[in-house]
Amino acid sequence: MSSSEDNLVISSDPLHPANLIPELCRSFYHLGWVTGTGGGICIRVGDKAYIAPSGVQKERIKSEHIFVLPYPQPPPSPHTDRVFLRRPSLNLKESACTPLFWNSFDLRGAGSCIHTHSQHAVMATLLWTGPVFRISHQMIKGVRVAGTGTALSYLDTLELPIIENTPNEEDLKDGMAEAMIKYPNAAGVLVRRHGVYVWGLDWEKAKTQTECLDYLFEIGVKMKLAGLPTVMNDS
């Protein structure tokens, strides 16, 4: 690994993506959103995408573990699927979430995307058996309409598409993209029996929306189990 590549993840700035990603992964671990090596996060700044590795305990990720990819990606060559600006010298693999993160960049202009295995998200996909999670008349103003930044209100109905899981995470890419196109206002996509992908224009907005949505998943699940309607006037 050349020193120039190492310099992509070496910074004294606590807000540098290579420093933020380990900090956020530790926070998500303690929230129960990511356990073991599951889940993931990316942060895009300009023409660089910083991505947490696969196979590292989420609370133990370090800045030197971070992958750095150019954005947008150049067309693939016959010998490689992706171009890296930096690959860790350790025997690490990039996150299997990478193609899903790219959906958030390409279809939403996101600056960050977070993937959690939150039990609240998983339970929501089990109790909402159809293709959409819906809830209204809750404090959902922390959730923004994708692409506009407009906050949802107490009277709005939040809709989040639910796609079916696949054995290999990267195979979710097309289904996720289809759901994002069908529901252009959605702030995230749920994956049945798996978790959720949430994005934002930057890491702060992505984190805020992930927190707000997880709260709504938890409330919604409790309402469903208590026999209460999650959408007012919903039959």
Q: Which parts are annotated binding residues for substrate?
A: 97
Here the tokens at position 189 are 């996509």
∠ CA 201-40-61, nearest 5°, is 115
Residue 198 forms beta bridges with which residues?
A: 114, 188
SS3 state at 17: helix
Here the tokens at position 68 are 């750095």
Residues in the chain: 235
Binding-site members are: 97, 115, 117, 194
Binding-site members for Zn(2+) are: 115, 117, 194
Q: Which among 41, 37, 32, 33 has a CA at the least distance from the CA of 55?
A: 37
Phi, psi of 13 (to 5 degrees): -80, 115
